[in-house]
Structure 1
């Protein structure tokens, strides 16, 4: 058991590229934290740590140790049940319960201590949850460390459009300092294990309501182009059809400014394959049929992206699609003058047109046996 523990610690140290002169048995490795608020209004910090076998007291490969205090740092220092100090250089995630982000407690104030701490990695992922963090910092089995499991879930972006690009401690610190709007991926408990679902929008450091659901994430990714893969479920001539996105080109976003008004032309390009088609007729592989079905997929994506843009403009007045990056690049001097009013005035009143180009590169194994699959 002891050998296995030391081997696991050595692997973590090697993967992170970090070394410390202290004996590995004389530190407590912190791999993730969860931040909540107590009924008394105190900040509660859950530290998910790997500790030596003698301290584990069970079969689990990790322990959750909780401290409370009026500030984040005070909550960390409240942890007195560990024999050795917490070592945070290998912290991979920080999960914030939405309830703690109220009143004077902003996200910027809560990450302040971590930003000041040279030992906390700037690449640590930051997530949001609407559940107690102890209920989402969970994995499918006790041998899996939840903090690492959650971080690795972002690898599923290659085949799921419902997962947003990960927010890091470094990226959100920069966005918060600049008063920029950004979305943050949520983590929830799904049948006893952590799952990435939904998101929250931060505007000028404050979390907006309502939170976005899983399908909202898909539409936001379609709009911004910040996706790596996934599927589009549509319908062709009354039959269900699934298009799998295999490649996403860098979106072409062109802003124009005239008479105090912005217009955005957004062009996305998806390449992929028809992965499922409930129409089994022979003509379902004809060129005309393919054109009809791709037009349906195109409309599904364009409608989803357009609906999300309308919600961001009218319901939230928040540029979670980060179109301001293109406005800033195209009009740097103007941006300095309008940045404070971007969300509520310029973005909220901007016009846009969204165009999607779909390239079918594969119709599947069944189609490949046909004489002429008519792939365009």
Structure 2
């Protein structure tokens, strides 16, 4: 009896595995899905001069304008859909440029509307399958849209569970849809190329890298200010050039690439990169220092009505390069101490300058100082909460950076 039960059990399990391995109930050929890789959000543009009698251009624009139930269109939404059978990754060193190759491998559709939900449904009038967002890589927002506020154009995207929270969000002063028009030299699609750029944060700290849609949603819901990377493009290349600072959901200004380094330093978000300093004994000699490990802690200092923020940081660096002949005394302690002190002075100075710029010019608490007060000095936070941005603009900052030179790259 036990033998028969064993045989029937094995037979049942075998049949079950066969059924499972045959396929899924919702199986669908990838060529028959409208995978959306990127979304670009712009302001609608008026008809350019010289195109009034261009019939083909006018016909294309008719497809982009849908009949709205209410009002005039506020946004131009563009989605990028790959044409998978035509995907062909270019070899490294191969030719690039021009929009023809990219247009043959992807389909970029634009619609004018008031909300993304309405536009998304309207895309179905031009696609023979519905847009599918579970593989969405990037969202690119035009600066004019960002300065008006990103909650209205992103509302449906933030609500929809189909949208991936790991989707990267970027800002550009260009027309956002032109970023999707880029023909990458060593990738098939601009959206995938752009989504991978923040991975290089271990090599450079000049760009924000924690910019996922989920992080944006948490910042907006938590009412904390934040930053997003700014991108520019050519026909075959995209570059991150700094950060856009957001106060609430509105962009209020920019940080340069160097300012971004020190904004990330304050936020304990440095994963790698370099800093360049002048040698203390000779300003004509430049020293390039590799950031191996950076740890930063923020704490409030409360003395009665006086509130300060202490920024205490420890950095481990390597001497990567120097601009003159290699020093003969590179292994001496004085030489090492001079580099460490020079790096300390440079870092502390840049942190202070970056904070002053953000306080006075932007007025956005992208460093999350208020979070530090809420966590470590809640009673003080209750006293300054109503006037926080005024307090933030005049907040005293104490910076203390400890630098350790680990390797100098010299063999004795």
TM-score by length of 1: 0.84
Over 3 Å counting, the alpha-carbon distance change for 1:51 and 1:279 in structure 2 is closer
Deviation at 1:198, TM superposition (A): 1.3
Residue aligned with 1:270, SS: strand
Question: After superposition, where does 1:240-279 map in structure 2 within 5 Å?
Answer: 240-249=286-295, 251-279=296-324
From 355, 380, 383, give the equivalent of 1:309. 355
Deviation at 1:55, TM superposition (A): 12
What is aligned with 1:298?
A: 344
Matched, 1:127 2:203: no
Residue aligned with 1:267, SS: strand
Over 3 Å counting, the alpha-carbon distance change for 1:213 and 1:87 in structure 2 is same
Over 3 Å counting, the alpha-carbon distance change for 1:130 and 1:20 in structure 2 is farther
* Matched-pair contact (CA < 8 Å) for 1:219–1:305: yes
* Matched-pair contact (CA < 8 Å) for 1:164–1:227: no
What is aligned with 1:14?
A: none
* Matched-pair contact (CA < 8 Å) for 1:90–1:121: yes
* Matched-pair contact (CA < 8 Å) for 2:312–2:401: yes
Deviation at 1:276, TM superposition (A): 0.4
Note the alpha carbon deviations across 1:321-364, whole angstroms, 9 max, x for none: 1222221211235435643432x222222211111111111111
Larger Rg: 2
Q: How many residues align?
A: 345
What is aligned with 2:74?
A: 42
Q: Distance in 2 between matches of 1:58 and 1:315?
A: 43
Over 3 Å counting, the alpha-carbon distance change for 1:158 and 1:19 in structure 2 is farther
What is aligned with 2:367?
A: 321
* Matched-pair contact (CA < 8 Å) for 2:146–2:171: no
Q: Distance in 2 between matches of 1:71 and 1:131?
A: 21
Unaligned runs of 5+ in 1: 1-17, 371-376
Q: Distance in 1 between matches of 2:297 and 2:186?
A: 45
What is aligned with 2:378?
A: 332
Over 3 Å counting, the alpha-carbon distance change for 1:362 and 1:190 in structure 2 is farther
What is aligned with 2:49?
A: none
Over 3 Å counting, the alpha-carbon distance change for 1:261 and 1:19 in structure 2 is farther
TM-score by length of 2: 0.77
From 108, 118, 127, give the equivalent of 2:151. 108
What is aligned with 1:212?
A: 255
Q: Distance in 2 between matches of 1:47 and 1:308?
A: 36
Deviation at 1:21, TM superposition (A): 4.0
Deviation at 1:54, TM superposition (A): 8.1
Q: Distance in 2 between matches of 1:361 and 1:294?
A: 10
Deviation at 1:161, TM superposition (A): 1.3
Q: Distance in 1 between matches of 2:289 and 2:332?
A: 17
Q: Distance in 2 between matches of 1:221 and 1:101?
A: 21
